[in-house]
Amino acid sequence: MFVSSHLMNEMEQTAQRVVVIGNGRLIDALDVAELRARAATVRVAPADDGATALLADVLRHAGAAVTKGPDGLEARGIPADRVGRVALEHGIALRRLAEQGSRLEESFLALTARTEEPV
């Protein structure tokens, strides 16, 4: 069954897969869980603060959008398990690795933000 809706709370409770369209173009078709994982924030901090810049670089290379957080780094675009594997592959010990999930509406807005036309 195909349902078109802008009521994200209802879709989050009923849909298993979503098709995301922005400005009349297909952006993606994926599982709700995958869409939410893409928009989740992973809070990560190396055990050695001196490795913060290296960790940020390797996470960016792995496809994450990385920003400085209140206690370490915040990575978006890759799941927490991938963040942990990337750190391990580069010999970076972690003192913090936590994923903060996002709701479907937040995930949808993050995915479609880059398709908005300038005003």
CA 38 to CA 32: how far, in whole Å?
Answer: 10
CATH class of 41-100: alpha beta
Question: Whole-prediction pTM value?
Answer: 0.64
pLDDT of 97: 95
Provide the pLDDT for residue 114.
Answer: 61
Task: Check residue 115 and give its pLDDT.
Answer: 55
Q: Is 67:77 a contact under the CB 8 Å cutoff?
A: no
CB 35 within 8 A of CB 111: yes
User: In this structure, what DSSP letter does residue 70 have?
Assistant: T
Q: How confident is the chain (119 residues) per 10-residue block, as mean pLDDT?
A: 76 82 83 76 94 97 92 89 95 93 70 56
* C-alpha torsion sign, points 37, 39, 43, 46: positive
Residue that is written with structure tokens 């206690």 in the block: 71
Token output for 26? 């297909």
Domain chopping of the chain, boundaries: 8-35+103-115, 41-100
Residues 6+ apart with CB under 8 A from 90: 54, 55, 58
Task: Give the pLDDT confidence score for residue 98 in this predicted structure.
Answer: 93
Q: What is the pLDDT of residue 102?
A: 65
